[in-house]
């Protein structure tokens, strides 16, 4: 047992969810599990579609200042993800510096756990020499498909030899996806 008056070391985990509900919920569920095992949780989040702090009163929620307009995910998804990562990189650095400055001498950030689409977090974790963990919400089948696509591209099978992207896109436009 701890001696009275002796402060217990509190290890903090910083969570960085992508601002879609299907990404926020799994991140907060992971945070709940970690919190129940003694970790302090800080959630650094985009102001766009931000999580509700009242659902996790023991967590610290830190919004990233929005440096530009919210990305339009209905138009060009990949470009919007890149824009979001570019927009939040500097404010995330400032946010982490603030979190670290408020730590006591016995406190520390154990790691940064970020959504795979919030890759700016990993860059900053490396700069601060902090471990980072990627949380992906995709299924095992999705992971396998992406791994296979990377391998096929590396072997020169994608794009398909002898086909043009225009011919392929005209075929895809008439298709129905489920």
Q: Which pLDDT value is given to residue 70?
A: 63
Confidence band of 25 (pLDDT split at 50, 70, 90): very high
Q: Is residue 147 part of a domain?
A: no
Q: Which pLDDT value is given to residue 6?
A: 46
Q: Which pLDDT value is given to residue 120?
A: 92
Q: Is residue 68 part of a domain?
A: yes
Q: Is residue 73 part of a domain?
A: yes
Q: Which residue has the higher pLDDT, 18 or 105?
A: 18
Catalytic residue among 23, 72, 106, 157: 23
Active site residue 23: yes
Q: Is residue 18 part of a domain?
A: yes
Q: Are strands 60-64 and 11-16 parallel, antiparallel or unpaired?
A: unpaired
- CA-to-CA distance for 134 and 116, rounded, in angstroms? 5
Q: Which residue has the higher pLDDT, 4 or 65?
A: 65
Q: Is residue 87 part of a domain?
A: yes
Q: Which pLDDT value is given to residue 39?
A: 93
Catalytic residue among 35, 106, 114, 115: 115
pLDDT at 176 over 90: no
Q: Is residue 6 part of a domain?
A: no
What domain range includes position 117?
A: 11-137
* Alpha carbon 164 to chain centroid, angstroms: 34
CATH code for position 104: 3.40.50.2000
Active site residue 58: no
Burial class of 120 by CB neighbour count within 10 A (0 to 12, 13 to 18, 19+): buried
Q: Is residue 175 part of a domain?
A: no
Q: Is residue 174 part of a domain?
A: no
**What average pLDDT does the segment 22-37 reach?**
95
Whole-number average pLDDT of the chain: 81
**What average pLDDT does the segment 86-104 reach?**
85
Specify the number of domains making up the chain. 1
pLDDT at 43 over 90: yes
pLDDT at 29 over 50: yes
């Amino acid at each position: 047992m701890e001696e009275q008056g002796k402060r217990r070391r509190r290890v903090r985990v910083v969570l960085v969810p992508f601002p879609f509900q299907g990404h926020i919920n799994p991140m907060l569920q992971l945070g709940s599990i970690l919190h129940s095992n003694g970790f302090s949780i800080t959630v650094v989040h985009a102001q766009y579609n931000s999580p509700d702090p009242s659902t996790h009163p023991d967590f610290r929620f830190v919004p990233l200042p929005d440096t530009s307009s919210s990305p339009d995910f209905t138009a060009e998804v990949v470009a919007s993800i890149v824009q979001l990562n570019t927009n939040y990189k500097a404010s995330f650095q400032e946010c982490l510096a603030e979190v670290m400055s408020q730590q006591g001498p016995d406190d520390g950030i154990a790691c940064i756990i970020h959504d795979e689409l919030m890759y700016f977090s990993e860059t900053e974790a490396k700069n601060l020499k902090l471990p980072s963990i990627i949380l992906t919400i995709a299924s095992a089948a999705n992971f396998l498909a992406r791994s296979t696509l990377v391998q096929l591209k590396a072997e020169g099978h994608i794009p398909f030899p002898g086909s043009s992207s225009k011919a392929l896109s005209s075929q895809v436009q008439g298709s129905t996806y489920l």
